[in-house]
């Protein structure tokens, strides 16, 4: 990965990783919460699910990008393992919460199916990656973690695509959200598949 691309990738992960903090600094009727009904916002369990999803998802995004640096992995293997454990734990919590929150996604069945599917894929690729490394299956672990972080990176791509889709739909949020429920992560998995193929043929898929 070229250094310029790597720097952009890292910067996006860090910026969006800190994005959930905005919900604690200003009026919470901000961003996606502004599209939710008062009834849903009053639901105690939904609120727990929402904040669990964005906080732990933000942490996963913040720490996960560094795991793809070969230099850091080779020079600091202990740190790599510790960060990896944080990533796995935060993903599993965020993904489960995301599946729960996704059941009430704005935009109807299309949006709900898209976000729930993302949550399921994110959860299981991460869990299987952890199981693989516990068994000493390094290459399988690396491949699954590429898919896992592709799901995590949906937090970034969603925020890139959504404003453009809203503009294309002349300010109408719901049809844009139905599309981004899939567009935010399906292309990411296609890129992940390409990287996995390179990794499987002995080429580097990391910086």
**What would the pLDDT profile of 8-22 be if each residue is shown by its tens digit?**
999 999 999 998 888
In a domain, 18, yes or no: yes
In a domain, 136, yes or no: yes
In a domain, 206, yes or no: no
- CA angle, 50 then 82 then 101, to 5°: 10
**What would the pLDDT profile of 116-154 be if each residue is shown by its tens digit?**
999 999 999 999 999 999 999 999 999 999 999 999 999
Per the prediction, the chain carries an average pLDDT of 91
In a domain, 39, yes or no: yes
User: Measuring CA to CA, which residue among 114, 110, 140 is closest to residue 125?
Assistant: 140
DSSP string of 56-92, one letter each residue: HHHHHHHHHGGGG-HHHHHH-HHHHHHHHHHHHHHHH
CA atoms in the 13 A half-sphere facing the CB of 97: 20
In a domain, 132, yes or no: yes
Tell me the two tokens of residue 135.
């068994």
In a domain, 205, yes or no: no
Q: Give the total number of structural domains in the chain.
A: 1
Q: Provide the pLDDT for residue 204.
A: 46
Residue % of the chain over a pLDDT of 90: 73
Q: Which residues contact 73 (CB under 8 A, 6 or more apart)?
A: 67, 80
Q: Answer whether 91's CB lies under 8 Å from 122's CB.
A: yes
In a domain, 85, yes or no: yes
In a domain, 29, yes or no: yes
**What would the pLDDT profile of 19-56 be if each residue is shown by its tens digit?**
888 888 877 666 778 788 889 888 999 999 999 999 99
pLDDT > 50? residue 162: yes
Q: Which of 10-19, 64-73, 122-131, 160-169 has the lowest mean pLDDT?
A: 64-73
Parent domain of 177: 3-200
**What would the pLDDT profile of 178-206 be if each residue is shown by its tens digit?**
999 999 999 999 999 999 998 865 544 44
Q: Provide the pLDDT for residue 36.
A: 85
């Amino acid at each position: 990965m070229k250094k310029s691309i790597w720097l952009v990738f890292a910067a996006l992960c860090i910026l969006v990783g800190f994005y959930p903090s905005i919900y604690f600094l200003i009026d919470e009727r901000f961003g996606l919460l502004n599209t939710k009904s008062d009834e849903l916002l009053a639901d105690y369990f939904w609120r727990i699910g929402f904040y669990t999803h964005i906080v732990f998802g933000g942490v996963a995004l913040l720490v996960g990008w560094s795991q793809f640096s070969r230099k850091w992995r080779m020079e600091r293997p202990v740190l790599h393992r510790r960060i990896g454990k944080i990533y796995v734990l935060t993903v599993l919590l965020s993904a489960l919460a995301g599946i729960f929150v996704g059941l009430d996604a704005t935009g109807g069945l299309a949006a709900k199916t898209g976000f729930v599917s993302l949550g399921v894929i994110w959860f299981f690729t991460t869990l299987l990656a952890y199981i693989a490394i516990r068994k000493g299956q390094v290459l399988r672990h690396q491949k699954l973690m590429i898919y896992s972080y592709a799901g995590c990176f949906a937090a970034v791509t969603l925020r890139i695509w959504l404003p453009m889709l809203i503009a294309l739909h002349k300010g109408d949020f719901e049809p844009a959200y139905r599309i981004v429920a899939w567009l935010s992560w399906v292309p990411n998995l296609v890129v992940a598949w390409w990287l996995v193929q390179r990794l499987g043929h002995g080429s580097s898929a990391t910086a």
